[in-house]
A and B are shown apart, each in its own frame.
Chain A
Amino acid sequence: MTNIIHRRSRLLNLFIWGLVFIWIIAASFPFFWTLWGSFKVQGDFFSKADWTNAISGVRTQIETGGAFTGNGYYGAWVTKNFWLAAINTGIIVSSVVVISLTFGNSWWICISTFR
C-alpha cells in the first residue's frame, strides 16, 4: 500500500524537477556570471561591443596575457580599500547582532512569561 501512496506520476515528477531546475538557474546564474566575470578585465565583462567577450576573455588575453586575472580582486581589496570596508562591516554586524539579540530576547521572554 505504501508503494502506491508514495508513487508520483511521471508528469508530476517532470514538473517538479523542471521547476526546481529553472529556479536554481534563475537564482544562481547572475552570481555565477558575476563570479566568472570577476576574473576578466573591465573591457571584457562590460564590453559594449559583444557580450560574449565576457566568456571568451578577448581583452583579458590582450591586457594581461592570460585567460583569467586577479586584477579585479587586487583593485578592489587593496586599491579601493575594500579590506577597510570589510573590517568596518564586521564590527557593525557583530555589534548589531549582539545588541539586538540581547534586547530582543529579554523583551520576548517578558511577553511570553507575562502572558
Chain B
Amino acid sequence: MKNRNFFWFILPSLITMLLFIALPIVSVVVQSLHIEHEAVLNEVENCGPFGCKKELIINVEETKKLKLESPLGQFNGLKTYTNRNHLAFEEIQQSWSQSDSISGFISNTLNLPFYRALAFTLTYTFVVTPFVLFFGFLIALGVNSLPKTMKGPTIFVSLLPMIVTPLIGSLILFWMIDAQGIIGSILQRIFDDPNLSLKASPTLTWVMLMVYGIWHSSPFAFIVFYAGLQTVPSDTIEAAMIDGASRWERTKYVVLPHLMPLTIFILLIQLMDNFRVFEPIVGFSAQANATSLSWIIYNDISNNEDQFFGSAGATSVLTIIGVSILLIPVLIRTWREFNRKVV
C-alpha cells in the first residue's frame, strides 16, 4: 500500500487517538502543574438557627476576577509532585535524617499517602499476577481434560467472576465475608475464633483483596490459555509420546513453550490492570487499611464539594510513569522477538 493511501486510511483512527488519548493526557499534565489561585477571604458574621458567629467567607467577585485572568490557576511547577501528598521529598529527607533505623525510615515513609498507596498497589500487582497466570493455566488444563458435554457449561461458569462488574463482584463478596455473613461465620467456625474478622486488620484486608483479585482475574487467563491449548500441534505431542515423555514432561517441553506468547500477553494485560486496582477497595470499604494509586486519584476528585484537580493530575502522571516502568521488561522482550521474526 502506498504511503499516501496508508496515511489517509489511518487518519480517522489517528484523529480519534489524538482527541481521546493524547490531548487528555496533555491536559492532565498541564493541570498537574497548576494550583488554585490564592483565596481572597473576608471575615463576616454568619447567622442561622443556632445563633450568630464571625466566620470567613470567600470574596466571590475578587475570585472571579482572578479566574478570568488566568483560568488554569497559579503555575506551581513541579511543586505539586514533590509535596506531602505525592513524592514528599521534604518529608522523606527529614525522616531519613531523623530516623535511627531502616525499619523506622520505612514505616515513616509508609505513613505518607502516596507511598502507602504505592506499597499496596505494587504488592497487589506482584502477588495477584503470578497467581492468576498459575491458576488460569491449571484450570485451562483441567477443563481441557473434561468430557465434551461438560466443557460448555464449565467454561460459562468459570467466566462468571470476570463477566460480572468488579464493583458488584466485590460488594457481593464484602457481604459474604462480613463477620455475620456466610463466609465470615464459617471461617470463624473453622479457625475456632469468634472474634475473627477479615475486615478488621490491615493484613487480613490485604489478603482478602488479593484473593478477590485472583478470583476475579483468573477466568481471563483461563480463557486465553484454553484457547491456546486448542492450538497445540498434535504431531509434536504424539512425537513426544512416542519418545516416551511422561504427561508432566509433555506439558513442560511442548505445551508451555507453545503458550509462551500468550503468557506474555496475559502478563502484560494483568500488570496493567492490577496496577490500576480500584473497585475492590471501594466495594470492600477497605480504604482504612488499603489504598491504591487509582483510589487516591478518585479520592481527590470524588468529593464534589472539594476537588483537587492538580493533585489528581500529578498522581495520574505518576501512575502512567509507574505503568511504563513496570512494562519495560515485557516490552523489551516483545521488541526482541519482533525483530528476530523479521530476520
Residues of A in contact with B (beta carbons under 8 Å apart): 5, 8, 12, 16, 19-20, 23-24, 26-28, 30-31, 33-34, 46-51, 54, 103-104, 106-107, 109-110, 113-114
Binds A, one of B31-39, B76-84, B135-143, B289-297: B135-143
Q: Interface residues of A: mostly helix, strand, loop or mixed?
A: helix
**Taking CB as reference atom, which chain B residue is nearest A37?**
B175
Q: Which of A27, A33, A103, A104 contacts B176 (CB 8 A)?
A: A33
For A106, what are the chain B residues with a Cβ–Cβ distance below 8 Å? 9-10, 12-13
Min Cβ gap B192→A in Å is 18
Given contacts A30-B169, A34-B172, contact A16 B142 (CB under 8 A): yes
**A and B contact pairs by CB, cutoff 8 A, 30 listed:** A5-B241, A8-B247, A16-B141, A16-B142, A16-B146, A20-B142, A23-B139, A24-B157, A24-B158, A26-B215, A27-B161, A27-B215, A28-B160, A30-B172, A30-B176, A31-B160, A31-B172, A33-B176, A46-B175, A47-B180, A50-B180, A51-B182, A51-B185, A54-B182, A103-B13, A106-B9, A106-B10, A106-B12, A113-B1, A114-B1
Contact A19 B241 (CB under 8 A): no
Instruction: Please report the C-alpha to C-alpha distance between residue A107 and residue B10 in the assembled complex, in whole angstroms.
Output: 6
For A49, what are the chain B residues with a Cβ–Cβ distance below 8 Å? 180
Instruction: Please report the C-alpha to C-alpha distance between residue A103 and residue B12 in the assembled complex, in whole angstroms.
Output: 7
Contact A20 B143 (CB under 8 A): yes
User: Range of interface residues on chain B?
Assistant: 20 to 34
For B6, what are the chain A residues with a Cβ–Cβ distance below 8 Å? 110, 113-114
Q: Which of B13, B145, B146, B164 contacts A107 (CB 8 A)?
A: B13
Contact B164 A31 (CB under 8 A): yes
Instruction: Please report the C-alpha to C-alpha distance between residue A106 and residue B164 in the assembled complex, in whole angstroms.
Output: 30
Within residues 159 to 200 of chain B, which ones have a CB less than 8 A from any CB in chain A? 160-161, 164, 169, 172-173, 175-176, 180-182, 184-185
Given contacts A46-B175, A54-B182, contact A23 B158 (CB under 8 A): yes
For B161, what are the chain A residues with a Cβ–Cβ distance below 8 Å? 27
Complex A-B, nearest 7 residue pairs according to Cβ-Cβ distance, in ascending order? A107-B13, A20-B142, A103-B13, A28-B157, A51-B182, A110-B10, A30-B172
For A54, what are the chain B residues with a Cβ–Cβ distance below 8 Å? 182
**Taking CB as reference atom, which chain A residue is nearest B247?**
A12
Contact B9 A51 (CB under 8 A): no
For B138, what are the chain A residues with a Cβ–Cβ distance below 8 Å? 19
For A19, what are the chain B residues with a Cβ–Cβ distance below 8 Å? 138-139, 142
Contact B219 A27 (CB under 8 A): yes
Within residues 115 to 138 of chain B, which ones have a CB less than 8 A from any CB in chain A? 138
For A107, what are the chain B residues with a Cβ–Cβ distance below 8 Å? 10, 13
Instruction: Please report the C-alpha to C-alpha distance between residue A8 and residue B142 in the assembled complex, in whole angstroms.
Output: 13
